[in-house]
Amino acid sequence: MAELANPVHQPSSFLRRYIFSQDHKVIGIQYLITAMFMGIVGGLLAMLMRIQLAWPGQNMPLLSKLFPDGMAGGVMKPEFYLSLITMHGTIMIFFVVSLALVGGFGNFLIPLQIGARDMAFPFLNMLSFWTIVPGCLIMMGSFFVEGGAAASGWTAYPPLSAVRSAVPGSNWGQTWWIVGMALFIISFTMGGLNFVTTILDQRTKGMSMMRMPLVVWALFIASVIGLLTFPALLAAAILLLFDRHFGTSFYLPSGLYFGNHLLPNKGGTPLLWQHLFWFLGHPEVYVLILPALGITLDLLPVFTRKPVFGYRMTIYCLYAIAILSMIVWGHHMYVSGMSPYVGEFFAIGTLSITLPSTIIGVNMIASLWGGSLRFPAPMLFVIGVIVFFGTGGFGGLFLGNATSDIQLHDTYFVVGHFHLMIGGITLLAAFAAVYYWFPKMFGRMMSDRLAKLHFWLTFPTFYALFLVMHYQGLAGMPRRYYAFDKYEFLSGMVKSQVHISLVAFVLGAAQFIFLFNFFWSIFRGAKAEPNPWNAATLEWTTASPPPHGNWGEELPEVHRWPYDYSVPGAASDCTPQTVPPGIAPVAM
């Protein structure tokens, strides 16, 4: 590469180049690898949970070495199971999916796809990564503090999370949880500021907003949602910390009675936390799914050789989802004791969010229509996303409807719904994205064979696993139960638990194929061509991996939208964004 016009020199020391790097590409990869590591942790926690659910009280002497308290004598204690679900949910949502999709691909893709040399504020970017690392360590470390990790669910409802004697995990574990979450919020606020500024300010010449790839659009809107809603949780978490350690009672009413003691608190209400938590918690799920849908919509044209269906409509729908997502948080609280009239308002609002979502769903399916489909591994995962979006989303119809949610709230129906959504869609999209952009990251291809094996072991198993949970939920099976042997009406369910767990083990094991493929291909993968998928977006016009500063002396200039595939009269079936109108017609 020629000397850069900008005086951005590649730092030479290993430390500055790979560890404390300010290069968005390195930071993106750092995020991804951290997410993979946390994914293993979160997945192993899930496996422990599945062991307990299928074979309650199983003796596992090996584990008692790692968790001498929670697994004393090799048998899992109920409170340890609660710690497991809490940390599984928290880690998966905040430290796996958020890190991979927003931190990882957001950082890697945004500057490359809008033609910038880096993020607006590279130092802040590095800082945001190095804030999340202690967050991860604190979360995992909380398993080893007195009382074990937080045990009040990822939703941390007080009084369970506020009164230290309410549950063992509410001892120091809960405090560590709050600190970890605070670090996460601070890190993502820094990242979000960077994303929004970069997208608004650093687009290269000709890259108007309506020429941005949909994944950048999705990341942009997701960052805006995040910036608007994370502050509420930060405020709420600070108050929870005060309630726990400094004697305030924001969330604690008078007359609480624990273990033969009357607590001195007065005046607060636990409902306050629920409102604040879900004001963040609900939009957060869209923060995660929008990038996943953006990735899907971005990959579809590459593997159908025709533009996406309804580009503009999709963007309007992203906006609509962003706005609606902030006024529907109450659908998690239909039976919490808030006013029933408010409940009905939230039901109508929640169901209106299905309207833009359906348009996006229809657009994804219609994008296949008339195309010339190709099926390398990323495309398989993309199809998986569409299927999950259908089933998981229609599950939302039952839950959003306050009347049926009376029966389904806090049952496995909810667990099934959100695993398809927040687990399935986001993970499949992340896998698709890794397989697709891997050549850009490392200049090598991942093994397509192993990737396909990974798909066929992941997609059907994931679907089977979490579809069954919907039916268990219809039968009334409550979630967050350590065991189901105490109830007669659940006796029919106990058997299916074993099947579910066996499927879950296959699913968990299959992920190691992916991990192996990833790390093996970094060093041994076949060398990639500069544009292996024949794609039109900007990142494929530079070298793989791109040099420091992304582009040579001059920034590229953009002349068309990102989906000019099969343009009539063009030389090839893919016209990159940088091709001027004189050479190939602009045919949007």
Q: Which listed residue (457, 480, 522, 586) binds ligand HEA by CB under 6 A?
A: 480
| Min separation Cβ 231 and ligand HEA, Å | 20
Interaction mask 45-84, ligand HEA, x per CB under 6 A: -x--xx--x-------------------------------
Distance CA 444, CA 464 (A): 33
| Contacts for 258-264: CB closer than 8 Å, 24+ residues apart | 258/163, 258/165, 258/166, 259/165, 261/165, 263/163
Distance CA 65, CA 58 (A): 15
**Residue 370 binding target from ligand HEA, Cu ion, another protein, none, CB below 5 to 8 Å by type:** another protein
| Min separation Cβ 265 and ligand HEA, Å | 25
| Min separation Cβ 36 and another protein, Å | 26
Interaction mask 279-308, Cu ion, x per CB under 5 A: ---x--------------------------
Kind of pairing, strands 257-258 and 261-262? antiparallel
Q: Which amino acid is at 180?
A: G
Interaction mask 253-282, Cu ion, x per CB under 5 A: -----------------------------x
Q: Which amino acid is at 416?
A: G
| Min separation Cβ 18 and another protein, Å | 26
Q: End-to-end alpha-carbon separation of the chain, Å?
A: 33
Nearer to ligand HEA, 104 or 549 (CB): 104
| Min separation Cβ 516 and another protein, Å | 22
264 DSSP assignment: -
Contact region for ligand HEA (CB under 6 A) — 112-120, 196-204, 209-217, 382-390? 382-390
Beta carbons of 294 and 218 less than 8 angstroms apart = yes
| Min separation Cβ 136 and ligand HEA, Å | 13
| Min separation Cβ 97 and Cu ion, Å | 15
List 173's β-bridge partners, or say none. Answer: 149
Q: Between 78-90 and 172-201, two packed helices, what is the crossing angle to 10 degrees?
A: 10
Nearer to another protein, 17 or 77 (CB): 77
| Min separation Cβ 358 and ligand HEA, Å | 4
Q: Between 24-54 and 491-524, two packed helices, what is the crossing angle to 10 degrees?
A: 150
User: Degrees (nearest 5) of the Cα angle 573, 574, 580?
Assistant: 120
**Residue 134 binding target from another protein, Cu ion, ligand HEA, none, CB below 5 to 8 Å by type:** none
Q: Which listed residue (116, 160, 415, 567) binds ligand HEA by CB under 6 A?
A: 415
**Residue 516 binding target from Cu ion, another protein, ligand HEA, none, CB below 5 to 8 Å by type:** none
For residue 492, give every residue at least 6 positions away whose Cβ sits within 8 Å of its Cβ, in sequence order, or none: 475
> Tokens representing 251?
């969330």
**Which residue in the shown chain puts its C-beta closest to Cu ion?**
282
| Min separation Cβ 552 and ligand HEA, Å | 30
Query: Could you write out the DSSP letters of every residue in 512-530?
Result: HHHHHHHHHHHHHSPBPPS
Beta carbons of 125 and 20 less than 8 angstroms apart = no
Nearer to ligand HEA, 481 or 487 (CB): 481
| Min separation Cβ 445 and Cu ion, Å | 38
State which H helix or E strand residue 222 sits in: helix 214-245
CA distances from 104 to 116, 441, 525 (A): 17, 11, 21
For residue 157, give every residue at least 6 positions away whose Cβ sits within 8 Å of its Cβ, in sequence order, or none: 270, 273, 274, 277
Handedness of CA 357, 362, 365, 368 (dihedral sign): negative
Of residues 487 through 506, those in contact with ligand HEA by CB under 6 A are 504
State which H helix or E strand residue 257 sits in: strand 257-258
Nearest partner of 435 among 330, 323, 557, 528, judged by Cα: 528
| Min separation Cβ 218 and ligand HEA, Å | 12
How many CB atoms neighbour CB 185 within 10 A? 20
Nearer to ligand HEA, 419 or 559 (CB): 419
Can you say whether residue 253 is alpha, beta or left, with left for phi > 0 and alpha for psi between -120 and 50 degrees?
A: beta
Give Dmax (Cα) for the chain. 83
| Min separation Cβ 527 and ligand HEA, Å | 23
Of residues 3 through 22, those in contact with ligand HEA by CB under 6 A are none
**Residue 460 binding target from Cu ion, ligand HEA, another protein, none, CB below 5 to 8 Å by type:** another protein
Q: Which listed residue (507, 558, 579, 584) binds ligand HEA by CB under 6 A?
A: 507
Q: Interface with Cu ion includes 409 (CB under 5 A)?
A: no
Q: How many residues sit in the footprint of ligand HEA (CB under 6 A)? A: 67
3-class DSSP state of 444: strand
> Tokens representing 44?
């192993």
Contact region for ligand HEA (CB under 6 A) — 107-115, 188-196, 357-365, 550-558? 357-365
Q: Residues, the chain, total? A: 588
Nearer to Cu ion, 89 or 111 (CB): 89
**Residue ranges in contact with ligand HEA by CB under 6 A:** 32, 35-36, 39-40, 43, 46, 49-50, 53, 85-86, 88-89, 92-93, 96-97, 100, 153-155, 285, 288-289, 331-332, 350, 353-354, 357-358, 361-362, 386-387, 389-390, 393-394, 396, 399-400, 405, 409-410, 414-415, 417-419, 421-423, 426-427, 430-431, 434, 479-481, 504, 507-508, 511, 515
**Residue ranges in contact with Cu ion by CB under 5 A:** 282
